[in-house]
Structure 1
Amino acid sequence: MAPGRVIGVDVGAVRVGVALSDPAGTLATPLVTLDRDETTWSDLDQLVELVAEHEVVEVVVGLPRTLAGREGPAAQAARRYVEDLREVLAEHSVTDLPVTLADERLTTVSATRMLSDRGVKGRAQRRVIDQAAAVEILQTWLDARRREPDEASP
């Protein structure tokens, strides 16, 4: 993995949670929640601005699969979001940025539980749950990437 910041994205029907790694690619932290707009793609434009602002080297988008590993409508929506993001990146002359899908099974459940344990409930949870899920997606991906060289050695 090239050194630099990575953005994690949790795509929802109404909101998009965004997390950002540190430059070493070790720790994911919440960044922002964007309002989803399938008409104007303003959330995609904002995501591209975040990519430029934070000098991001890769974008990781959560792919929601069922517990059995199957893909349903939410996974298809995430795949369409990735296609749309790549299109908007190309419109901004960003053609070499990897956009990766990462399994996100149970990340929202895990994020909800963590926020509840910290006393964040109800309405207060709505705006941050997407960021927390994006952190879960990105942190899991970062941890797996760091383990890859160890698994490849004898």
Structure 2
Amino acid sequence: MIAAPLVTLAAADFRTALPQGGRLLGLDVGTKTIGTALCDAGWSFASPATLVRRTKFTADKAALATLVAQQQVKGLVIGLPLNLDGSESPRSQSSRAFARNVADLAPVLLWDERWSTVAAERAMIAQDMSRAKRATRIDNHAAAHILQAAIDALVAA
């Protein structure tokens, strides 16, 4: 019997699916771009990676599959955009659908991303980055924030 691809909100289930650890790919899925970030195999730190410009889903998935293969990624952490009260929105449903459609690449952890863009924006302002540079890098920095929060929780568990 073949196991179904894993898509979970539970860090413990995700950690169980990856007993050996390994590199993780964080994704901030938007309508026009997908911000990406990578962490080391020991789950210590996350860094912004490449920006994927969205076109058709098959092309988007192919770009992610290439990144997964090149970087030897063992799991995906996808930001789940919840409303401030914790309820779901149409964007949440879209992210869940995206996660189900890429789950054959690697196990997926959906991670609350309510404050990721704000945190990334503040960090880039603190670095005295220009508005134009921030606009081109915000999605990757948000993906790094999402991934760092997830690996902090995974290590603590």
Which residue of structure 2 lines up, in the alignment, with residue 42 of structure 1? 59
Give the TM-score taking structure 2 as reference length: 0.83
Q: What are the equivalent positions in structure 2 for 1:2-151 lying under 5 Å apart?
A: 2-37=20-55, 39-86=56-103, 89=104, 94=105, 97-148=106-157
Shift, 1:125, TM fit: 1.2
- TM-score of the superposition, structure 1-length normalised? 0.85
Q: CA distance change for structure 1 residues 21 and 12 in 2, over 3 Å: closer, same or farther? A: same
Moved more, 51-60 or 40-49: 40-49
Q: Aligned partners of 1:33 and 1:140: how far apart in 2?
A: 20
Cα distance in 2 for partners of 1:34, 1:121 equals: 22
Q: CA RMSD in A?
A: 1.3
CA offset at residue 40 of structure 1? 4.8
Name stretches of at least 5 consecutive residues in structure 2 with no aligned partner. Answer: 1-14
Q: Which moved more, 1:119-128 or 1:3-12?
A: 119-128
Aligned-pair identity in percent equals 35
Runs of 4+ in 1 over 6 A off after TM superposition: none
Q: Report the alpha carbon displacement of residue 84 of structure 1 after superposing the two structures with TM.
A: 2.4
Output the CA distance in 1 between the equivalents of 2:41 and 2:154: 14
